[in-house]
Amino acid sequence: MMRNRWFWIAFVLLAVTAAGFSARLFPVAFPVLNLDIRMSRSDAITAAKEIAARDGLVPNDAISAARFEHDGSVQNYVELEAGGAAAFAAMVRGPLYAPYHWAVRLFKPGEVTEATVRFRPDGIPWGFSKKVAEAFVPADPHGLSLEEAEACALAEATARRNWRVDLSPYRALEATKKRQVNGRIDHEFVYERTDAQIGAAKYRLRLRVSGDELTEVSPYVHIP
């Protein structure tokens, strides 16, 4: 049989067909293989330090640590409940949510204050979070306890200016506040996109203000 030319013709046709199916299905089954990663680890650290210096997030001598993160809970939901592997692959390619992203932590050992800056695989800044001590007090006494409307305006303006957040597709969903032991009021605002969702899950954005400082910009997927 090994010397039969029809065997080899059939073998070659089968191999070509299998290769074609693999080329089409691999990016769907393994979306990470189809990622356009334009930012290296060192690039992410450099960009995070520049942002931290610009916004005064942490001291200039802070230590940095970077890792490429994956939102497994979102992937599991989309693949099992909201369209399967093809839908998740489309999410990875799309602009609405980045389940794969760089996260750069900037910190000093022994200090509470630290920040994590995130980037999409193509290098676009994709939000941050800053942890401050409970005893943190703004330099301006007025900033210790902003009213909700004032804190919301500060959060939205800073998110637009520093993080290029477009709030036009979002609606305000909820606002909460917490008074710290030193009298500082921290506000949290959650927004929800009105133009898109994935299955029953919603695309949301969280903005947090600590005193008079924006300390978080976090896009996320709310899974019901």
Note whether residue 155 is domain-resident.
yes
- Listed range (19-33, 144-158, 180-194) with the worst mean pLDDT: 19-33
Q: Do 200 and 145 sit in the same domain of this protein?
A: yes
How many Cβ atoms are within 10 Å of 116's Cβ, its own excluded?
21
CB 217 within 8 A of CB 159: yes
Q: Do 149 and 222 sit in the same domain of this protein?
A: yes
Note whether residue 4 is domain-resident.
no
Q: Do 140 and 127 sit in the same domain of this protein?
A: no
Checking phi first, is residue 110 left (phi over 0); if not, alpha (psi -120 to 50) or beta?
left
Q: Do 213 and 174 sit in the same domain of this protein?
A: yes
Q: Do 66 and 116 sit in the same domain of this protein?
A: yes
Q: Do 146 and 99 sit in the same domain of this protein?
A: no
Note whether residue 218 is domain-resident.
yes
Host H or E run for residue 173: strand 170-179
Question: In this model, does residue 17 exceed pLDDT 80?
Answer: no
Q: How confident is the model at residue 34 (pLDDT cuts 50, 70, 90)?
A: low
CA angle, residues 13, 10, 20, in degrees to nearest 5: 20
Per-residue pLDDT, averaged over 83-96, amounts to 93
How confident is the prediction for the chain on average, in pLDDT? 89
Domain holding 125, by residue range, is: 35-131
Note whether residue 189 is domain-resident.
yes
Q: Do 138 and 121 sit in the same domain of this protein?
A: no
Q: Do 138 and 127 sit in the same domain of this protein?
A: no
Q: How far apart are CA 200 and CA 104, in angstroms?
A: 31
Question: In this model, does residue 21 exceed pLDDT 60?
Answer: no
Q: How confident is the model at residue 36 (pLDDT cuts 50, 70, 90)?
A: confident
pTM metric for this prediction:
0.84
Q: How far apart are CA 193 and CA 132, in angstroms?
A: 29
Q: How confident is the model at residue 101 (pLDDT cuts 50, 70, 90)?
A: very high
Q: Do 69 and 145 sit in the same domain of this protein?
A: no
Please say which residue of 86, 115, 131 terminates a domain: 131
84-93 helix and 72-81 helix, angle to the nearest 10 degrees: 130
Q: Do 205 and 119 sit in the same domain of this protein?
A: no
Q: Which two tokens stand for residue 88?
A: 């998740």
Q: How confident is the model at residue 206 (pLDDT cuts 50, 70, 90)?
A: very high
Note whether residue 187 is domain-resident.
yes
Note whether residue 26 is domain-resident.
no
Q: How far apart are CA 82 and CA 66, in angstroms?
A: 31
CB 90 within 8 A of CB 60: no
Q: Do 54 and 116 sit in the same domain of this protein?
A: yes
Please say which residue of 69, 97, 131 terminates a domain: 131
Res 192: pLDDT: 98
Question: What DSSP designation does 121 have?
Answer: T
Res 3: pLDDT: 56
Q: Which two tokens stand for residue 159?
A: 């998110």
Amino acid occupying residue 158:
T
The domain total for the chain is 2
Note whether residue 40 is domain-resident.
yes
Amino acid occupying residue 12:
V
Note whether residue 12 is domain-resident.
no
Please say which residue of 131, 162, 178 terminates a domain: 131
Question: In this model, does residue 25 exceed pLDDT 70?
Answer: no
- Listed range (2-16, 37-51, 98-112, 184-198) with the worst mean pLDDT: 2-16
Q: Which two tokens stand for residue 157?
A: 């303006």
Q: Do 113 and 139 sit in the same domain of this protein?
A: no
Res 12: pLDDT: 53
| Percent of the chain residues topping a pLDDT of 70 | 85
